[in-house]
Amino acid sequence: MINGIECKPVIQLLMDLASKYTLEKTEEITGIEKELVSKLAKRIGNSKKVIFLTHMGFTRTYHGDISLRGMISVAAVTGNVTTSVISGYIPAILNWNPFLKAIPDKPSFHRMGILNLYEAVISGKPYPIKALWFAFINFLNQCANSNKIIEKFYPSLEFIVQTELFMTPSAQYADLILPVCSFLEFSDFLAQPYPNVQLQQKVIEPLFESKSDATIVAELAERLGFGDYFKGGEEGLIDLIMVTRSFKGITRETLKTQAMRLPALPEGTNFPLNFGTPSGKIELYAEQLVEDGEALPVYLPPIEAPIGSGEKKYPLTLVNGHTRFHTHSMFANVQSLLDLNPEPIVDINPIDAEKRNISNNDIVTVFNDRARTTLKARISQGVQPGVLDITEGWWIEQFKEGSLNHLTHDIINPVQDKIYEPNMHMNDVAVEAEKK
């Protein structure tokens, strides 16, 4: 008891929570055999060092943040968390202060998540947004709920600018398209692969009327009276972001001849890593999420994916994997790659295909209340029963009808919104499929 309040150590609360998930219950929820779960747990617990790897797909579900917290908690309680760099090389830390803190002690920008942006544009909350400048993104193609973007988001804007190399699905909705050059036509700084840093050097001058994004922004800033913030163009910006201890002895000029390694960490010293928690420490228990019932990484079912038994209107879970032929929507219009991988395909398990009389190369429609998407089917043991996989990145016009993100939703997770920003949940989608 503390001040009359009954308390328990956080580790005890975590143990109490974990004890509710027996091997049998865990197998029921995850579909992973309990023997494998037990084997993995013992291996993690008995290993001297364990590296936990995760990728974006892990969090592309409505409660993916909890899944990630659960994995981090396992890493923490088994002693597999590094709190400082004690050997090797100094981390590559870039100097973003001139952009994020242009005027000391005053906000220089306001970060807004993409799903929050939907709300701001459509309903004016938390404040109205009437114009957008898109760069480095094929917004319509890659963001959730394409119909909502087309029918509500774009019509609510008064002015849209897009910098682009190609006439993408998103560029077609722009009021003004500014031709941007390729990476071969501008210089940039790459703090990778760690511990190396290198200069991406311009090979040729920008073709025709195209310019780099940095040049476009600098020239616009000059016209608006903010040119002093962007002096020196691309090279000036590279010099600016390199002003940190990470790049001591390294300059843009020295990088013109060769890549260089970051400074070695002196023996006997360390480079502390900060945790963005209220205490600055690892927090297994999030006090600010008590009222949300998520102080600990509890299990909560998907918001839409039809996990579990029983009849459902849309009984299949849609996920979006990645293809070796695209990087998101980049290269989806390259003919030599289209010769190898010509069109979008939905992978379906043989069990689900048989139920729906679907054969290889049949044209099928995947649908839910938001949209219908028509494409070719491929029977595959590579997806679990109850799951459909459409690789992301295909342009909208490459589908026979709809697209992948016509099917996805833009539901905001209030806990994610409270802590940082809500994620898009493209792997937490319910659909059905039928043969055309």
Considering only residues 401 and 89, tell me which one the structure prediction assigns the higher pLDDT. 401
- Give the relative orientation of helices 34-46 and 23-30 as an angle to the nearest 10 degrees: 110
Tokens at 51, concatenated: 């590296």
pLDDT of 315 > 90? The answer is yes
What is the arithmetic mean of pLDDT over 356-381?
98
- Give the relative orientation of helices 213-224 and 233-241 as an angle to the nearest 10 degrees: 100
H helix or E strand, kind and range, residue 434: strand 429-435
97-261 CATH choice from 3.40.50.740, 3.30.1050.10, 1.10.3720.10, 3.30.470.10:
3.40.50.740
User: 405 near 145, Cβ under 8 Å?
Assistant: yes
Residue 317 CB-density burial (10 A; 0-12 exposed, 13-18 middle, 19+ buried): buried
- Tens of pLDDT along 300-314? 999 999 987 778 999
* Per-residue confidence (pLDDT) for residue 412, from 0 to 100: 97
CA pseudo-torsion sign 364, 410, 26, 32: positive
Radius of gyration of the chain (CA): 25
The DSSP line for 105-158 is TS-------HHHHHHHHHH--SS---EEEE-S--HHHHSS-HHHIIIIIGGG-S
Q: Where are the domains of the chain?
A: 10-83, 97-261, 316-435
- Tens of pLDDT along 52-77? 988 878 889 999 999 999 999 999 99
* Per-residue confidence (pLDDT) for residue 400, from 0 to 100: 97
> pTM for this one?
0.92
* Domains 97-261 and 316-435 equal at CATH topology level: no
What is the arithmetic mean of pLDDT over 172-176?
98
Cα-to-chain-centroid distance, residue 87: 30
| Separation of alpha carbons 57 and 327, rounded Å | 14
Mean predicted lDDT score pLDDT of the chain: 93
- Tens of pLDDT along 18-42? 999 999 999 999 889 999 999 999 9
DSSP 3-state of 296:
coil
Considering only residues 2 and 145, tell me which one the structure prediction assigns the higher pLDDT. 145
User: 99 near 247, Cβ under 8 Å?
Assistant: no
316-435 CATH choice from 3.10.20.30, 3.30.70.890, 2.40.40.20, 1.20.140.10:
2.40.40.20
Closest CA to 67 of 315, 258, 305: 305
